[in-house]
Amino acid sequence: MHEKENSLATKLAQYGSLLALVHVVAGCSADAPQQQSTLREENAAASVVPAKDTKLVVAFGDSLFAGYGLAQDQGFAPALERALSAGGVKAQVFNAGVSGDTSAAGLQRLSFVLDGLARKPDLVIVGLGGNDMLRGLSPEATRANLDAILSELDKRGVRTMLTGMLAAPNLGADYAAAFNRIYPELARKHGATLYPFFLDGVVGRRDLLLPDGIHPNDRGVDVVVSHVAPQVSGALDE
C-alpha cells in the first residue's frame, strides 16, 4: 500500500471510531423520501437550458452530494459551481444527490434524472457506494451497479467522473480489499476521471464535519471542492 493510502487508512480508522455506523445509515435513510421529492422538483426546474457557453455538470450521488444537513447554497453542487466560476469555467452544476441512496437506488433513478434534463450534460460526476459500504452490502453488487451506471452514461455519450470511497476498517481486510479496488478499476474500464477518495482532507477532522462525524459541514465541503474542482475543470476541457 502506498504512503498516501496508508495515511488515508489511518484517518479512516479514526473516522470509524467517531461514529456509530448504524445510526448514520438510519439517519440517511430516513431523509431519503424528502430528498427524492426535492430532486423531482429540481429536475422540473432543470428544463431551463444553460447558455451555449455554459457547461452542464450533474452531481449524481448520495447524501455527500445532496448537501445533507446544510443550507441549500452550502452543499457540494453549489460550492463546486462557485469554485468552477472562480477558476474561469462557466458551468451549471445540477444537484442530483439523494440522501440514503445505495448504488442500486442510483441505478434505478439514473434514466429519470438524465431524461429530465433539457440537454445532455457535459459531465456527470458519480458518487455512490458509501451507503453500500456502511451497510456491509456485497462489494460485487456495488461494482455491478456502478458498472451499469457508467455503462449507461457511456451509451449516451456522456463524459464521466467517479468519486471513490474507502471501506471502514471494522468491516475487515477482505471486505476492504474487494471494495476499495472498485473505483480505480471501473474508472480504467470506462475511461472516467477518478477522484479516489471523496472525503480526503476531511475524514477524521471533527472541525470539518457535522456532529454525525461523517458528513462535511460547510467548511468541509469547501475543502472537498478545492480538491475536486481542478479535476472537474480538467475533465470538462478534455
Rounded to an integer, what distance in angstroms lies between the CA atom of residue 218 and that of residue 209? Answer: 8
Q: Is pLDDT at 38 greater than 60 in this prediction?
A: no
Q: Is pLDDT at 47 greater than 60 in this prediction?
A: no
pLDDT band with cut points at 50, 70 and 90 for residue 179: very high
pLDDT band with cut points at 50, 70 and 90 for residue 9: low
Interaxial angle between packed helices 182-190 and 173-180, expressed in degrees from 0 to 180 and rounded to the nearest 10: 20
- Domain count for the chain: 1
Cell of 55: 457547461
The model's pLDDT over 146-167, given as tens digits with 9 standing for 90+, comes to 999 999 999 999 999 999 999 9
Residue 59: its H or E element: strand 55-61
* CATH code for the domain of 78: 3.40.50.1110
The model's pLDDT over 180-238, given as tens digits with 9 standing for 90+, comes to 999 999 999 999 999 999 999 999 899 999 998 889 999 999 999 999 999 999 999 98
Catalytic residues: 63, 212, 215
Residue 102 pairs in a beta bridge with none
The model's pLDDT over 96-141, given as tens digits with 9 standing for 90+, comes to 999 999 999 999 999 999 999 999 999 999 999 999 999 999 999 9
Q: Which domain holds residue 99?
A: 3-47+54-237
CB atoms within 10 A of CB 152: 15
Dihedral angle computed from the Cα positions of residues 23, 102, 60 and 158, in that order, rounded to the nearest 10 degrees? 160
Distances (CA, A) of 181 to 83, 188, 190: 29, 11, 14
The model's pLDDT over 51-94, given as tens digits with 9 standing for 90+, comes to 778 999 999 999 999 999 999 999 999 999 999 999 999 999 99
